[in-house]
Structures are given as structure tokens and as C-alpha cells.
């Protein structure tokens, strides 16, 4: 049974990697408003977002996860739909052992982008993790892995 599960997970991970590469090569680029067309308040909001996002990334890379979570949270106050900020905030929450917050954050990312393979994959990993008994659910993991493609 364990061998079958391991093989199944390996196949899903391989499929995920291949499909992610295909998606990244053919992703749509949404038109953005030129920075010169934005108001002063909008420009300030963008600058604030990036200030907190860069700070959060520095904290995360240096292992200061509690500080990273706070900084990603502040960044998201300025751009609540930023996919990378949500993804990394979920990862930071998981590192901090805040499983429910990680799950909610990745679910929020999926609300914004239902095709976010990495969010579905992270949820799949979360649901298949034996360490997280509160959320362990093989069926949910399989569903998320399939959605990741």
C-alpha cells in the first residue's frame, strides 16, 4: 500500500512539473496600466507594497519567519491580490507551524487564480503530510494534485 502511494505521488509530481512548465511557457500576460497613468496615491501604494514585499523576502531568506509573515501581511494590505506574496506567506505560515493559516492563504491564492498550480500543489502536500493530522486527507490531496495540472 505504501509503495503504491509513493508511486502515485511520484507520478503526480512528474505530471505537475511538466504541466507547470507548459503553463509558464504559454501564460497570458494581462495588460497593465502604464505607471505614468497612475495617481500619486496609487504610485505610493505600489512603492509601499514593494518595500514590504522585499523586506518580507529578506526575512524569509534569512530564516526570520515571524518577521516575514508580518511583512508579507503588510505588503498584502497594499496589494491583496499579489500571488507571490500569498504563496510565500502560506509557506512561511507552514514553517511557523500555523497549518490553518497556511491552508487559508493558499486557498485565497486559488480564489484569485484558480489555475495556480503551485497553490494546488502546496495544498496537496499539506493534505498528504502525515505530520499534520488535523488536515491529513488523501482524497483532498489527490484532488489538489489533479487541479495542479
- CATH number, domain 40-147: 1.25.40.10
C-alpha–C-alpha distance, residues 81 and 79, integer Å: 6
Lowest average pLDDT, out of 27-31, 90-94, 110-114, 144-148, goes to: 27-31
Residue 102: its pLDDT value, please?
97
Q: How far is CA 81 from CA 56, 105, 133, in A?
A: 16, 11, 30
Query: Percent of the chain beyond pLDDT 90?
Result: 62
For the chain, what are the domain ranges? 40-147
Residue 13: its pLDDT value, please?
65
Residue 28: its pLDDT value, please?
44
C-alpha–C-alpha distance, residues 63 and 61, integer Å: 5
Instruction: Give 18-75 pLDDT, tens digit per residue.
Output: 666 556 554 444 445 566 678 888 999 999 999 999 999 999 999 999 999 999 999 9
Amino acid at each position: 500500500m505504501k509503495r503504491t502511494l509513493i508511486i502515485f505521488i511520484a507520478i503526480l509530481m512528474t505530471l505537475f512539473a511538466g504541466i507547470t512548465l507548459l503553463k509558464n511557457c504559454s501564460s497570458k500576460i494581462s495588460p497593465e496600466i502604464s505607471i505614468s497613468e497612475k495617481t500619486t496615491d496609487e504610485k505610493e501604494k505600489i512603492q509601499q507594497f514593494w518595500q514590504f514585499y522585499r523586506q518580507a523576502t529578506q526575512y524569509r531568506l534569512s530564516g526570520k519567519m515571524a518577521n516575514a509573515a508580518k511583512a508579507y501581511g503588510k505588503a498584502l494590505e497594499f496589494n491583496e491580490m499579489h500571488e507571490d506574496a500569498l504563496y510565500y506567506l502560506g509557506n512561511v505560515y507552514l514553517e511557523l507551524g500555523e497549518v490553518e493559516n497556511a491552508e487559508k492563504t493558499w486557498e485565497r491564492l486559488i480564489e484569485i487564480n484558480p489555475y495556480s498550480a503551485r497553490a494546488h500543489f502546496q495544498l496537496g502536500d499539506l493534505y498528504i503530510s502525515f505530520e499534520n493530522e488535523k488536515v491529513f486527507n488523501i482524497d483532498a490531496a489527490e484532488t489538489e494534485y489533479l487541479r495542479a495540472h
